[in-house]
Amino acid sequence: MSTNGHIARDESTFTTKAGLAEMLKGGVIMDVVTPEQARIAEAAGAAAVMALERVPADIRRDGGVARMSDPEMIKGIQEAVSIPVMAKARIGHFAEAQVLEALEVDYIDESEVLTPADTANHIDKWAFKAPFVCGATNLGEALRRIGEGAAMIRSKGEAGTGDIVNAVTHLRKIRSEIRWLTVLGPEELASAAKELQAPLPLVRQVAADGKLPVVLFCAGGIATPADASLVMQLGAEGVFVGSGIFKSSNPEQRARAIVEATTHYADPERVAAASTGLGAAMESIETSKLGAEQLLSPRGW
């Protein structure tokens, strides 16, 4: 054996932060509100769970200010499962993020699903050892979040609706803006950065690589195995399912089915098999019928 002595460790680098998102790829991250739900999610094949007090559909229904979850609830979920546990902080609420880091959650979601705490600034995510995932509706928003230190991006969609339309819109927007950058000349990238309101070095990097510098998941409205297949075929590298599982009539079976459809997203026969006999999907809301003040995805700057 070559190495018996103490080895210097460099903890919580950007590489380890972005690396955990690489490990989650091809997986399903499920919202859970109790340790029991977390165990069901893990047994059904969740790659991680998002611990929160209310799923987005209930936040939408109840109204009021939605905040970070009670630490006791988060700890209960951490003790219940061995997979990564994520939790949400309000946009700009760095003290909530500090609490979540002190709890050693594996990923912090600076989330538009909660009520924003700052109308101009997001959290300085470079100041944290814990990695952050942030939502985006377009490439500029994704690159601003990465510039602030986010190690993973999720397209926002419209949480708590069960309507996939905004998830598709946002994912397509991000992907098509990436393709647009790849065909620009080097002298055009500064202007593109200005148009996207994104940092130029990241714009250059995306133009060269043809992809985001971090993993891109899809969130907001996924309710069925076919929804998961759709967004994976549109270029998502994994999915978040919020209300879609535990607001359905048979959460355990639906969770397994969405996991299976995410793995076999390109095989319609497998997606068909996974879609069969699942019972009722979550009670859904057509996003286009929501008033502007009811939309969550415009939150974020």
Closest CA to 238 of 39, 21, 83, 4: 21
Choice between 15 and 121, CB closer to another protein: 15
Min dist CB 149 to another protein, Å, is 15
Nearest-angstrom CA–CA distance, 287 and 301: 21
The stretch among 10-18, 58-66, 90-98, 283-291 that binds another protein (CB under 8 A) is 10-18
CA atoms within 13 A on the CB side of 272: 3
- Asked if 65 touches another protein (CB under 8 A), the answer is no
268 touching another protein, by CB under 8 A:
no
Q: CB of 279 within 8 A of CB of 253?
A: yes
Give residues with Cβ within 8 angstroms of 260, minimum separation 6.
45, 225, 270, 273, 274
Query: Which secondary structure element, helix H or strand E, spans residue 133, and what is its range?
Result: strand 132-136
CB nearer to another protein: pick between 19 and 298: 19
Site for another protein in 127-146 (CB under 8 A): 129-131
Active-site positions read 88
CA dihedral 182, 185, 188, 190 (to 10 degrees): 70
DSSP at 107: E
Among 8, 65, 120, 292, binds another protein (CB under 8 A): 8
The span from the CA of 294 to the CA of 235, in Å, is 28
Stretch in the footprint of another protein (CB under 8 A) among 25-33, 67-75, 91-99, 244-252: 25-33
- Which range, of 30-38, 91-99, 141-149, 258-266, touches another protein by CB under 8 A? 258-266
* Chain contacts with another protein (rule: CB under 8 A): 1-4, 6-13, 15-17, 19-20, 22-27, 42-48, 82-84, 101, 104, 106-107, 129-131, 259-260, 263-264
